[in-house]
Chain A
Amino acid sequence: MRLTGWGRKPAVDAEVFAPYSIPDLRSRFPRARFRGIPRGNGRSYGDSALAPQVLSSRRLDRFLAFDAETGVLRCEAGVLLADILDVFVPRGWFLHATPGTKLISVGGAIASDVHGKSHHLEGCFSRHVERFSLMLADGGMVDCSKTQHADLFRATCGGMGLTGFILEATLRLKPIRSAYLRETTFKADDLDHALSLFAEQSGAPYSVAWIDCLATGPRLGRSLLMTGDFIDDGRLHGTAKTPLSVPVDTPGFALNRYSVTAFNALYYHRVRGRQRERVVHFDPFFYPLDGIGHWNRIYGKSGFTQYQFVIPKASGAAGIEEVLQRIAASKRGSFLAVLKTFGPANGNPLSFPMEGYTLALDFRLEPGLLPFLEELDRIVLDHGGRLYLTKDVRMSAETFRAGYPRWKEFQDLRRKYGADTTFRSLQSERLGL
């Protein structure tokens, strides 16, 4: 079966195993000859869920137990965050940590140790995972938590599927009293202004900024900062709108620096005053692009990559500014540029977030892009930062090792459990894991 990541490049003809139950996995999965990677809903951008053989969790999609008192949910690894929200928001529960798409599996959320607009207060997805069960390379199934097989727990959270196959997980949900949030939008004239707004708003449960990457000179870093907080009006039933979809590939030329400049200017000036408040449903607030099916097609057939990095707080503004200047000078428009602050790092060897600032940018894959991104890598590494593995499709092994100094510990653990020869992706091969 032909598979790609969300960025649509590269494509691989893979042999896909999709067991529908644990007994089915035990009886039909050819473990001895398997050399490949677990895969959830295929929403990581690059090649982290691609290999000639793929073990898919998509049919392991059942809820197993729910405690309505405590909000503790046990479910199989292929359950999507969207399924959890569909079922539990009407009962007053939400996710503690959610990325900008709900179309990812629970297993994938753990393997990427995803973060969201609440990271500064709530940390990564793994903080709210009580335990999960993992199939190891030898077929053994072990329960992992912060106290049981803690080394495997830590390495698997953020471990990109390279330690084993997650079968099921137990998560804590977060009580809410409305499906709606109060969203406040602030206009920031430049980068310093945006970062000081983040500092001022650090008590807001959710925050994120959209940067206009094509604004230059004194307006560098011009952005809209949005904060949100669930209200408590008791309206738990959401609106179900018909989703839009991008039916076909947009011609490659439709997104160019003129159209992106125009879009960004319109987007910025849509907010008229310095500040705007409104009440919005959680769907457009957290998942604005999930409303548009196949939005990855707008970059055309050549595919795209998302470049997301973090720079530690200590060298924050300077590093972000340097990257923004380089992008503005290159005239490579980014449709999306999202800035966010991270709280402290957790103890997982490959989890991406560290205390500081993260910026995510989309680029169409086109000639000249790769050398340009290597220039950006150098800036990020010089400032002590690193790149997000879940978005990556091209970083070198050197860049990876410099950004993730605990890679060796991770690799040793994989060897200990025999995972290094069994669980491999195109990405892990490229990164020398």
Chain B
Amino acid sequence: MQKILIIGATSAIAQATARRFAGRGDRLYLLGRDFDRLEALAQDLRIRGAESVDCANFEAENFAGHPALLDQAYETLGGIDVALIAHGTLPDQRACEQSFDEALRELNVNAIGTLSLLTHLANRMEQQGNGTLAVVSSPAGDRGRQSNYVYGAAKAMVTVFCQGLRNRLFGSGVRVLIIKPGFVDTPMTAAFEKGMLWAQPERIAAGIEKAIGKGADSVYLPGFWALIMLMIRSIPETVFKRLKL
């Protein structure tokens, strides 16, 4: 039995991963925006075999509220073995170009909120001398592109922050896992036409469980995205800037 905190639990990827944890009989604590949906998911996870499931409301942008929320999670679970940070939104890139207020709000949700959570969680895990911080970032953070650079910038910040944190915590017993899912068929991406490259959240969830189990540092899910992003990163900027990506 593991004690697992899931932040952004109603996101499709988090939900699918939570179901795997529940099937193993883990003890779960869920944080999310919509309490009715959290409750419905919690009941589903209890039926699937979770030892216990508790949940609480959470706002990514309410940084000041994070410490108390995490304290509550720690207390209820009796320690945290794994924290999966999976909340996020997909910004409307056009709207962010027109309005910096909009861009700032998206950056607060997708980057700063995560940094706030990580700061508190890392310190507690460092004290306890073990634990895994599993953070959903994105290949979008690997290189800025015109179609989603606000989201990409947020995820790049999360990725670099996690790298630094992993470096700092090396030797402390705390692991930091960066998860970069490619195109995933979820409500967040409902507006996109789905093709060959799209994966179901269940497949991503299986990859997350495996990566946590192995103690991996960073994974692309499904794995072929590592190759795609290697190619994307290796295009010289003089060429890249001309592309419609």
Query: What's the interface size class on A, roughly?
Result: 10 to 19
In Å, the complex CA distance between A65 and B193 comes to 35
Q: List residues 2-16 of chain B with CB under 8 A from any CB of chain A.
A: none
A174 within 8 A of B: no
Residue of B nearest to A68 (CB): B47
Find out whether the CB atom of B194 lies under 8 angstroms from the CB atom of A1: yes
Chain B residues numbered 129-167 whose CB sits less than 8 Å from any CB in chain A: none
Distance in Å from the Cβ of B37 to the closest Cβ of chain A?
Answer: 6
Residues of chain B within 8 A of A65, CB atoms compared? 43, 47
**Cα of A27 to Cα of B72 in the assembled complex, Å:** 33
User: Is A430 engaged at the interface, CB distance under 8 Å to the other chain?
Assistant: no
Nearest chain B CB to A190's CB is how many angstroms away? 46
Contact B44 A21 (CB under 8 A): no
Q: Mark B179-204, 1 if CB is under 8 A from A, else 0.
A: 00000000100100110000000000
A62 touches B41 (CB 8 A): yes
User: Restricting to A44-86, which residues have a CB under 8 Å from any CB of B?
Assistant: 59, 62-66, 86
Does A404 touch B at the CB level, under 8 Å?
Answer: no
Partner among A21, A86, A87 whose Cβ is within 8 Å of the Cβ of B40: A21
Nearest CB on A from B77, distance (A): 22
Mask, B39-67, CB within 8 Å of A = 1, is 01101100111000000000000000000
Q: Residue B36 at the A interface, CB < 8 A?
A: yes
B34 to chain A, nearest CB (A): 9
User: B47 is contacted by which of A1, A59, A87 (Cβ under 8 Å)?
Assistant: A87
Residues from chain B with Cβ under 8 Å of A21 in the complex: 36-37, 40
Q: What residue in chain A is nearest B193 (Cβ atoms)?
A: A1
Contact flag A62-B187 (CB < 8 Å), given A86-B23, A87-B49: no
Query: Is A64 a contact of B43 with CB atoms below 8 Å?
Result: yes
Query: Does the CB pair B23–A62 fall under 8 Å?
Result: no
Measured CA separation A247–B43 after assembly (Å) = 37
Question: What distance in Å separates the Cβ of A80 from its nearest Cβ neighbour in chain B?
Answer: 11
With A1-B193, A87-B49 as contacts: A62 and B36 at CB distance below 8 Å: no
Residue of A nearest to B194 (CB): A1
Q: Which residues of B contact A1 (CB under 8 A)?
A: 193-194
- Cα(A86)–Cα(B36), bound, Å: 26
- CB contacts (< 8 Å) of A230 on chain B: these are none
CB A56 to nearest CB in B, in angstroms, measures 11
Most chain-A CB neighbours within 10 Å: which of B40, B41, B194?
Answer: B40
Report yes or no: B40 in contact with A18, Cβ–Cβ below 8 A.
no
Q: Mark A10-33, 1 if CB is under 8 A from B, else 0.
A: 000000001011010000000000
* A1–B41 alpha-carbon span in the complex (Å): 27
Measured in the bound complex, the distance between the Cα atoms of B23 and A21 in whole Å is 22
Q: A18 is contacted by which of B37, B49, B190 (Cβ under 8 Å)?
A: B190
State how many angstroms separate the Cβ of A91 from the closest Cβ of chain B.
9
Residue of A nearest to B187 (CB): A20
Complex: chain B residue closest to A23, CB-CB? B36
**A63 and B48 in contact (CB under 8 A), knowing A1-B193, A18-B190, A86-B23?**
yes
Residues in B neighbouring A87, C-beta threshold 8 A: 23, 47-49
CB-nearest residue of chain A relative to B16?
A61
Tell me the nearest residue of chain A to B43, going by C-beta: A64
List, in ascending order, chain B residues with CB within 8 A of A64's CB.
Answer: 40, 43-44, 47
Closest beta carbon of chain A to B205's beta carbon, Å? 13
Q: Are A62 and B44 in contact (CB under 8 A)?
A: yes
Contacting residue for A62 out of B43, B190, B193, B194, CB 8 A: B43
In the assembled complex, 8 residue pairs joining A and B whose CB atoms fall closer than 8 Å, in A order, are A1-B194, A18-B187, A18-B190, A62-B40, A62-B43, A63-B44, A64-B40, A66-B47
Given contacts A59-B187, A63-B48, A65-B43, 6 further A-B contacts (CB under 8 A): A20-B187, A21-B37, A62-B41, A63-B47, A64-B40, A65-B47
Query: Chain A interface (Cβ within 8 Å of chain B)?
Result: 1, 18, 20-21, 23, 59, 62-66, 86-87
